[in-house]
Structure 1
């Protein structure tokens, strides 16, 4: 019997080891915000405010790899699959203070160009080997280039676009590519904000500020089927409604026409908000992807994270970005025929009870399951004795887990080497017998928004995080999110959707009958019944007041409900004049 028991234990140990090895190798999904080693900002160090941030991503493909340039990161990242990113420490001629709202452009796979000096005056840098970190600089200095965008057309003509203002428009000019990229011709104003017509361009959280004007910034030009799609960010990077809109033209300098479906990239609801000041790139298999900035804004307004969403152009040439369930697991860019699609794994941990080893001050563990990114749990110490446990209340199939760390009085500045997060996560059905779900004991990677897809879905009721080592002085976590499928029923479709478009046609009030057992709802809308490209996630409420519409545009709305077991059918689509 002892020999049989020993063999059984050895087999079980082998299965667990094989499962954890497979977990470390497999990743068919990803989850926003992106889990990269964000740089600590230095710009508020005089106020003893430490935070890491990433914003304004410029992503381009070059010779079969992808390069991502991010505001003031003191370097940049590269990836072969848009999923795993490695940092490049720059060498010769890189911006010593980090580039600001960078521009990047791949010219025929021969040269990669970048610019974005925070001063707004810079030469264009170029290289044929970006992984080396070494760059050359064109002799000419271009001025007044806040939030630049460089574009070289198929005919070899070069253009510069720029703009970051609540007053001035997005502007463009042609450059003489063969003469040091000097200005060629006149500066052309392309378009400006039109807040009296476009509700989503209004300033403030939920577009609620009626005094200050919104900001227009971050142009990015994408050419598709002979049309030029000029994307721009508005109304402010610190708000949940930060978004990207688009104008369309037949030539790079216009004239540009506002697309009827706008904003194209918009994520005002859910755990992580915002989807603005981005870039669009063709990824594996020809799938378009839109990278953008998300608002965190706990330590300072400019504390941000990065996101990516599948994007595309429909048969009428309308550009769209899919942000439905935008911070839930999605298929990774390398998954054929499914890249970017919502995986169907639901949030099991929402508002579930949490207990913790210790708590410091008022930063209680309940913050770990509230889906509010500005709240967090703070442990009394940062050591191996700290743990938190979520009770899912009923057994469910766990498929993936995301740990979102928070910087609380971190006192860290600049690009720091050898940062890492080490921990384990265990699951249990009875709270007594535990199985390892995630093993990061031997991980020496910097993973501030760690997302782990389990190799094998595991039925659990309790999920426990055990801390080993994090790089910050304090152990603080803003959200511990468990994804998978409950063993119950998905909610019924919402009924009695009523829509009241206000006298100010930018505003609309939506209400519907609460659905029994629903965690929350997705409000879906668009400019046609088959073009419901926009979505707004609402937790625990059966109404939504939106201030996002365009005055002279008809809209179509519907609502779907969701819980830990799945997503309902959609309500009937309602046409609103």
Structure 2
């Protein structure tokens, strides 16, 4: 059996990101376009200088892209006939389309474009007509237009399709947990700082129109971006993302129509892809695909956003359309090991193994102040253990406090605000405000993973001390299980000879004891028409999953909570019915709660 554990286990390329004369070095992949083509799965992310290919959605192989605009964000790929069509984003010049019959070994043919766009998406209808969608702004909407298949030029005028509506759709509101923290004074300070670097008029001033655009950019209006179109049972599902990639609430919503250019109406289940909690949050700007077995999958962007707002990763989750045509995505345990069968699957299956490492004691060979080993067991990708030196052999160890059946370990390496000189001979690429260099050199992430029953005698779980891979979110699966109380990772080598940083040494398996008792004392309070507070009695469990939806049998949204008996949900839709359930989980399993009606 094959398992995936988000973030997707792939090589995330480093980039040298230029700002104020300094080069911040970090990994990034985002905005995935995932397709099924000639019996294989292809996934094209931003800032990867290539794409990854798989036959099973678990094991991915990297292939470089040459002679294509790899520094342009949000690459879109679609299958049209015998070809894969590729396009990417650029505002300062016209964007071309490219196509090939063999993306691995063949060349791409350019079809010259005649207008600029950002966050593109092609869609071919069953009758062969081609439609194109684009947009990425907190000022302008998602657009659509029909294209001529012969030359990919627009037919007719572009149509405005999706505008933001944050006063009625809570999930579109900007900010962490949809709470915007900038004051008007802070916004103006950002505007003036940014404006000072822009070209001025002959009189030495910046036009007020330009300043107003900057005020909108740094204000609370959400970004509406990342279009993706699917057709299912005669309905057109235009998907889009909001409110911003750097927030835990980055999500994908969906509008539905009988026609490819609308008019569109908001689907009841929104946002259909939404993961605000857990180890690594975020589930926006993605793509939806049907696999060879008829299962639907949604790939999307997950955020770290510590070293840079665009420090991001990729996730993949089961998706589908219910009996009423509502598009959904199951992200309840969306960063735990998930079984991927080569067969028709139940998209709502619970995980095989439970989280064993949350809040467990941890020890290390050394650590920097403020980056102690407990940061590797707090289920927060934005915190990490950092060794006090960059010498080979630094280690971190988790004590599970009892001998457990360990079935999987995910080792998540972090980068701690690295600044390095630009490599010799490297050149910066991209548009003026997004200049960077993607490092295509080979790097290695090498380590030894061991287990112990007593903390004295250790046995090997996995040895990658001589591997030729660079996998910062590696998943080690022992399907038959191993008995261990202590799990130790010894770091042998990392890119740029940096000090070892681990944001999550996450252990999964089956613990002892009973299933958790059903959550009690559930209280719900509407804080506004868009905000809901949910509380429950403290209990001795690992965590809770708060589910909600517009019907008692459609609890498609979830928020995983650790270390608290309260959560505030800011993703409500004004005037929509609302039902809530609080599930409890421990190291043994999951106990579902009762469904509560909040709004009729």
Same fold (TM over 0.5): yes
Q: Pairwise mapping of residues 446-461 of structure 1 onto structure 2 (< 5 A)? A: 446-461=470-485
Q: Please point out which of 327, 335, 338 is paired with 2:335.
A: 327
The match for 2:15 is: 41
Q: Please point out which of 258, 264, 276 is paired with 1:268.
A: 276
* Distance (whole Å) between structure 2 residues aligned to residue 133 and residue 392 of structure 1: 50
What do the CA deviations read for 1:338-395 (whole angstroms, capped 9, x no partner)? Answer: 5783323111111111111111343211111011111111112334421111111122
Q: Pairwise mapping of residues 174-573 of structure 1 onto structure 2 (< 5 A)? A: 174-178=146-150, 180-209=151-180, 212-334=220-342, 336-337=344-345, 341-408=349-416, 409=418, 411=420, 414-474=438-498, 475-502=500-527, 504-515=528-539, 517-573=540-596
- How far is 1:404 from its partner? 0.5
Contact 1:79 1:86 in 2 (8 A): yes
Q: Pairwise mapping of residues 59-138 of structure 1 onto structure 2 (< 5 A)? A: 59-91=34-66, 93-95=67-69, 97-108=70-81, 110-119=82-91, 121-132=94-105, 134-138=107-111
Q: Which moved more, 1:487-496 or 1:53-62?
A: 487-496
* Distance (whole Å) between structure 1 residues aligned to residue 90 and residue 42 of structure 2: 20
User: CA 1:426–1:338 in 2, change beyond 3 Å: closer, same or farther?
Assistant: farther
Contact 2:319 2:347 in 1 (8 A): no
What do the CA deviations read for 1:373-424 (whole angstroms, capped 9, x no partner)? Answer: 1111111233442111111112211110000111122638523333222212
User: CA 1:565–1:207 in 2, change beyond 3 Å: closer, same or farther?
Assistant: same
Q: Which moved more, 1:246-255 or 1:439-448?
A: 439-448
Contact 1:30 1:332 in 2 (8 A): yes
Where does the alignment leave 5 or more consecutive residues of structure 2 unmatched? 182-218, 423-436
- How far is 1:298 from its partner? 1.1
Contact 1:83 1:332 in 2 (8 A): yes
TM-score (norm 2): 0.88
What do the CA deviations read for 1:272-309 (whole angstroms, capped 9, x no partner)? Answer: 00000000011231100000000101101110000001
Contact 1:492 1:569 in 2 (8 A): no
Structure 1: 4+ residue segments shifted above 4 A: none
What do the CA deviations read for 1:125-154 (whole angstroms, capped 9, x no partner)? Answer: 000011125211013x23231111111111
* Distance (whole Å) between structure 1 residues aligned to residue 446 and residue 3 of structure 2: 21
* Distance (whole Å) between structure 1 residues aligned to residue 341 and residue 171 of structure 2: 29
The match for 2:431 is: none
Contact 2:320 2:347 in 1 (8 A): no
* Distance (whole Å) between structure 1 residues aligned to residue 224 and residue 321 of structure 2: 23
Contact 2:576 2:599 in 1 (8 A): no
Where 2:536 maps in the other structure, the secondary structure is: strand
Where 1:200 maps in the other structure, the secondary structure is: helix
- How far is 1:473 from its partner? 2.1
User: CA 1:216–1:158 in 2, change beyond 3 Å: closer, same or farther?
Assistant: same
